[in-house]
Amino acid sequence: MLIDTYGRVATDLRVSLTDRCNLRCMYCMPEEGLQWLAKPDLLTDDEIVRLIDIAVRLLGIEEVRFTGGEPLLRPGLAGIVERVASLAPRPQTSLTTNGIGLKRTASALKAAGLDRVNVSLDTLRPDVFKTLTRRDRHKDVIEGLFAAREAGLTPVKVNAVLMPGMNDDEAPDLLAWALEHEYELRFIEQMPLDAQHGWKREGMVTAGDILASLRTRFDLTPEGADERGSAPAERWLVNGGPQRVGVIASVTRPFCAACDRTRLTADGQIRTCLFAAEETDLRTALRSGAPDEEIARIWRLAMWGKKAGAGLDDPSFVQPDRPMSAIGG
């Protein structure tokens, strides 16, 4: 079991498979990209599967989410998914992606054992997409979403970040479109995880702003805390249901008290929080021949030291050195 001093138990593992990405989203990384991790620093396929096996078999992990960077850029992704889906007990498996490569990979990932996907799409307007991501790939994402739904990677969830002066007027249109195509839309407040350290609380589009905009066209009924559990998204029934919309308000409505996540970076570091300044190295123990029980012990110790919250409301908060692209969403 992965438990911390506040009694929270981690059952959800987020695994970053690569720090590389084929987009350059304004809220994540600079246009010129970043200094990528050297290949020898990255975990191999066998190392990733072994660590996930330890997490599932010895530490009580029940869900595994593959992230990046962009995880579809990882060679051998389908093989990793297949091996993880074959573990006992079998964890639920999902993938967070920008959707660009889903059209060609969705069916193979489903056949390998992937259960569902989260796809990032911030706008319905191709020109705005090009500005936000610095790439002209809007059509590819739309086609990837369709392929995921057709392959049965459901529920297909769409993640959207609204930026002031860019797409902050699109919330109702995005929701109407998601309802039409049977995707579950979730808005995410912009978080201080950009490589440029350009995030500013002032002027950010908040959960309150998003809900106010949605209510100009839709009737929203809170789903309630019992239904939410440890999920990061607060959800509302749209026009009485059954379809829903979610808002992940990491900044203005933090949900740290119910957090059940632990994170493994592409280079083998454990992060107990997306905003953590500290990491715990598993790669060295793994490559020095440590047995599974010793690696599990290191992981438990890291989890025991997890802080009460992200500290975003603390004036002394220091943005993590690693951008979101390097530690997974």
Q: Which residues are annotated as a binding site for [4Fe-4S] cluster?
A: 21, 25, 28, 256, 259, 273
Output phi, psi for 327, to 5 deg: -125, 0
Half-sphere exposure of 318 (CA within 13 A, CB side): 6
Q: Which residues make up each annotated binding site for GTP?
A: 14, 65, 96, 157, 261-263
Q: Per the annotation, where are the binding residues?
A: 14, 21, 25, 27-28, 65, 69, 96, 120, 157, 191, 256, 259, 261-263, 273
Binding residues for S-adenosyl-L-methionine: 27, 69, 120, 191
Specify burial of residue 135 (Cβ count, 10 A radius: 0-12, 13-18, 19+).
middle
Strand partners, 271: 263
As a whole number of angstroms, the distance between CA 73 and CA 23 comes to: 11
Among 128, 139, 44, 45, residue whose Cα is nearest residue 99: 139
Asked whether the beta carbons of 295 and 286 are under 8 A apart, the reply is yes
SS (H, E, C) 271-310: ECCCCCCCCEECHHHHHCCCCHHHHHHHHHHHHHCCCCCC
Q: Which helix (H) or strand (E) holds 141?
A: helix 138-151
In angstroms, rounded to a whole number, what is the distance separating the alpha carbons of residues 131 and 193? Answer: 19
- Asked whether 314 and 18 are in contact (CB, 8 A), the reply is no
Max CA pair span of the chain: 59
